[in-house]
Structure 1
Amino acid sequence: MTDSLALAYARKLIACESITPATGAVFDALEEMLTPLGFAVDRFLSGEDDQNPAHGAPVENLFAIRKSSGRHFAFAGHLDVVPPGDGWGSDPFVPEIRGDLLHGRGAVDMKGSIAAFVAALHSIPEDAGTISLIITGDEEGPAIYGTRALIDHMHARQSVPDFCLVGEPTSVHRLGDMMKIGRRGSVNMWISVAGTQGHVAYPHLADNPIPRLIKILAEIEAIHLDDGTDWFQPSNIEITDMQVGNKATNVIPAKAEARLSIRFNDLQQGDALVERLRTLIEAGGGTLTAMISGEAFLTPPGELSAAISEAVEAVTGIQPEASTTGGTSDARFLTRVCPVVEFGLCNATMHKLDEAVALADLEALTEIYRRVALKILG
């Protein structure tokens, strides 16, 4: 039996090992799919001069566009994947069909969605409107040189889309039951409290930082940020780590540290949260380092979400829930450019061993993407 276009494309992409940050072969494969469809493909590396290994550089990015008159509709996604880990039932980079499932790292997050969109392009006339693909090799990593660099590239080319669909795996129990119209913001914080090391029998000659850190964390734990909104759950602060590293039983340590993660809704701003906690932490004798991964964003229900809902119902018979739950995605950057909604495959196996997509879902998603594109392009 001959593979469908979506299945054939998914196989080709999965077969390219592309652990974040991804470069090379997987982008070659996508370019080979798009060029015969009339797309001009730009590929470029970002962060080549960055020597900080934590930044995951360099990163390869791809922007492909097929221009026409009328509206500009974009599809955004990533070709990088998380490391597969040990214990798979088959090679994670050798796509394998078992029953009605296609297994392989990236099958749902998110090479399967990219394959479905490219397959849908075969049924979208070139004169329907402008279509582009915004594809990075750094969504699963630090995301410093990925989609943000692509946005700069689009602005430089004066190729900013009117609407953007991000193909993240948003469905939960079955294909089509959820789309994301927003995401909470995210900030990570590192607290350090310095003391003076000494012998526990002579505490007057030392300064134990642990009680001060505990007091700081207790004050943070008592903070109530908000009660949520119509579209967002309440913002929350979570203490994710606390360490001293003291291996001796008779030594007062010289330093105590903790880590926080805050997921916040659109009632909050990352900078304001950092400064609020910095004031509290410094008053308690500590120092703070923070990294804001992204601000909260919301695309209120409108034309794009309506087009997705209509297409999903036509293909699956259900209406997707409009949600803002879950972690961050590159939509947090793209929302600065145009209205953005995320919709894609079932997320039950993403980042897990034996990640897999249902063959029927690949075909259904192809038809959903085709209908959404045609509806938006008008």
Structure 2
Amino acid sequence: MSVPDLNLSADPVELTAALVDMRSVSHDEALIADAIEAALRAQTRGFEISRFGNRVLARTTRGLPTRVVLAGHLDTVPIADNLPSWRTNSDDEGDMLHGCGTVDMKSGLAVFLHLIATLDQPAHDLTLICYDCEEIAAKFNGLGFIEREKPEWLVGDVAILGEPTGGLIEAGCQGTMRVRLSAKGIRAHSARSWMGENAIHRLGEALTRLHAYVPRTVDIDGCEYREGLSAVAVSGGVAGNVIPDAAYLDVNFRYAPDRSEEQAFAHVREVFASDLADGTLTAQITDSAPGALPGLTHPAAAALVDAADGKFRAKYGWTDVARFSALGIPAVNLGPGDPSLAHRADERVPVAQIYAVTELLRTYLSA
């Protein structure tokens, strides 16, 4: 397939549509990476450009006092009969661009590419990171590969990820941890249930504790994070006439970024302390990703907040800002689109938000 031509200086809405129309489901980002690489090489000046797998990297080295990293992923979730893109204009919603990836996050990526090509005199050195496989398991995440193999490309004073935020700054992100609570019993015929110990019944107290759990709310840099501890899966059972000897309950803890992973696990163990102490349950971490502090007091991040007229909020979900935070780089999410529409068959982004985020970032990157 021939590589599509992208005009990075074109209207950012048209550029969004062009990116959306290139299918790029996770693990299939070669075509869009080829197109972006070709456009950057042909239409930008003063940028060092590097291709690393299906990751396209570009940066300036002008010796400016600060560096801003703009990072966005190329991949989408599987197509849901929502390509090619199309546009509607209604009294209810206004001017909207529809299609897979319009929200998550090709509109944000289009904004970054457009600004890279059209900023005349940026006030900061710029790094652009276009990476693959964000929508699937973390082991495939292209930003992780860059962090391990080309870490010098992630150096900066502030990082902006183009995740959908409705055009508002969403600072930091919460951590996420899944813990499996396992119960053991003794198998027996259900007609003689007293001869066994029912492992499923042993999960009862844990479920009661979850139902009564009161989540913590914490304010960090003016961002309010609300934690949550929830059962997300339960399994057990052998047959319709057997007392089960094993069962488990998966618990997801979404925690504020003032907790470390170790502190988060300690809190989960505290909630179920009596069940763990008497051996009714055992606890094992099955998945974990740390949160990211908002870092809005850093001068480079504070200047972005000023450009956004002081409008910001906490990010509840986990995003790759956590990777930058772990490197000591303040990071925020900022992009067009309602995150609740991401991954849906009716995914769509307001055209006005694409323009608004473009101008917000143009102001910030030029100031």
**Deviation, structure 1 residue 64:** 1.9
Runs of 4+ displaced beyond 4 Å: 126-129, 219-225
Secondary structure (helix, strand or coil) at the match of 1:307 reads helix
Report how many residues are paired. Answer: 342
Does residue 106 (structure 1) correspond to residue 101 (structure 2)? The answer is yes
- Confirm or deny: 8 A CA contact 2:296 2:302 kept in the other structure: no
Counterpart amino acid of residue 152 in structure 1 = R
Cα distance change on mapping 1:234 and 1:126 into 2, 3 Å: closer
Determine the structure 1 residue equivalent to 2:316. Answer: 326
Determine the structure 2 residue equivalent to 1:342. Answer: 333
Cα distance change on mapping 1:183 and 1:210 into 2, 3 Å: same
**Deviation, structure 1 residue 372:** 1.6
Does residue 124 (structure 1) correspond to residue 119 (structure 2)? The answer is yes
d(CA) in 1 for partners of 2:128, 2:331 = 14
Determine the structure 1 residue equivalent to 2:92. Answer: none
**Deviation, structure 1 residue 240:** 1.7
Residue number among 44, 48, 68 corresponding to 2:52 in the alignment? 44
Does residue 254 (structure 1) correspond to residue 245 (structure 2)? The answer is yes
Counterpart amino acid of residue 84 in structure 2 = V
> Which has the larger displacement, 6-15 or 255-264?
6-15
Q: What's the % identity of the aligned pairs? A: 25
Counterpart amino acid of residue 218 in structure 1 = T
Cα distance change on mapping 1:12 and 1:245 into 2, 3 Å: farther
d(CA) in 2 for partners of 1:204, 1:363 = 68
**Deviation, structure 1 residue 82:** 1.8
Q: Name the Cα RMSD after superposition.
A: 2.7
Does residue 286 (structure 1) correspond to residue 281 (structure 2)? The answer is yes
Query: Could you give the per-residue CA deviations for residues 18-70 of structure 1, whole angstroms, max 9, x where no partner exists?
Result: 2224431111122122222133332324xxxxxxxxxxxxxx43322232221
Cα distance change on mapping 1:369 and 1:179 into 2, 3 Å: same
Does residue 236 (structure 1) correspond to residue 228 (structure 2)? The answer is yes
Counterpart amino acid of residue 250 in structure 2 = R
Residue number among 57, 68, 76 corresponding to 1:73 in the alignment? 68
Query: Could you give the per-residue CA deviations for residues 164-205 of structure 1, whole angstroms, max 9, x where no partner exists?
Result: 11111112xxxx4x3112211111122221222211221243
Cα distance change on mapping 1:17 and 1:251 into 2, 3 Å: same
d(CA) in 2 for partners of 1:158, 1:327 = 25
Residue number among 111, 127, 148 corresponding to 1:152 in the alignment? 148
Secondary structure (helix, strand or coil) at the match of 2:218 reads coil
d(CA) in 2 for partners of 1:322, 1:187 = 25
Residue number among 293, 297, 304 corresponding to 1:297 in the alignment? 293
Counterpart amino acid of residue 161 in structure 1 = G
Q: Which runs of 5+ in 1 are unaligned?
A: 46-59, 86-90, 313-318
**Deviation, structure 1 residue 105:** 0.7
> Which has the larger displacement, 273-282 or 283-292?
273-282
- Confirm or deny: 8 A CA contact 1:84 1:351 kept in the other structure: no
Determine the structure 2 residue equivalent to 1:24. Answer: 30
- Confirm or deny: 8 A CA contact 1:123 1:370 kept in the other structure: no
Query: Could you give the per-residue CA deviations for residues 348-368 of structure 1, whole angstroms, max 9, x where no partner exists?
Result: 522222212233332332222
d(CA) in 2 for partners of 1:149, 1:132 = 17
- Confirm or deny: 8 A CA contact 1:69 1:127 kept in the other structure: no
Determine the structure 2 residue equivalent to 1:201. Answer: 191
TM-score (norm 1): 0.81
Cα distance change on mapping 1:237 and 1:208 into 2, 3 Å: same
Does residue 367 (structure 1) correspond to residue 359 (structure 2)? The answer is yes
- Confirm or deny: 8 A CA contact 1:121 1:370 kept in the other structure: no
Q: Which runs of 5+ in 2 are unaligned?
A: 1-6, 90-94
Determine the structure 2 residue equivalent to 1:64. Answer: 58
d(CA) in 2 for partners of 1:333, 1:181 = 13
d(CA) in 1 for partners of 2:289, 2:74 = 20
d(CA) in 2 for partners of 1:216, 1:63 = 47
Determine the structure 1 residue equivalent to 2:4. Answer: none
Alignment of 1:191-230 (within 5 A): 191-219=181-209, 226-230=216-220
- Confirm or deny: 8 A CA contact 1:76 1:167 kept in the other structure: yes
TM-score (norm 2): 0.83
**Deviation, structure 1 residue 81:** 1.2
**Deviation, structure 1 residue 335:** 1.5
d(CA) in 2 for partners of 1:344, 1:84 = 21
Does residue 136 (structure 1) correspond to residue 136 (structure 2)? The answer is no
Residue number among 240, 248, 265 corresponding to 2:256 in the alignment? 265
d(CA) in 2 for partners of 1:73, 1:276 = 36
Secondary structure (helix, strand or coil) at the match of 2:109 reads helix
Counterpart amino acid of residue 118 in structure 1 = L
Cα distance change on mapping 1:299 and 1:28 into 2, 3 Å: same
d(CA) in 2 for partners of 1:13, 1:63 = 17
**Deviation, structure 1 residue 270:** 1.8
- Confirm or deny: 8 A CA contact 2:16 2:102 kept in the other structure: yes
Cα distance change on mapping 1:335 and 1:276 into 2, 3 Å: closer
d(CA) in 1 for partners of 2:193, 2:237 = 19
Secondary structure (helix, strand or coil) at the match of 1:125 reads coil
d(CA) in 2 for partners of 1:140, 1:127 = 31
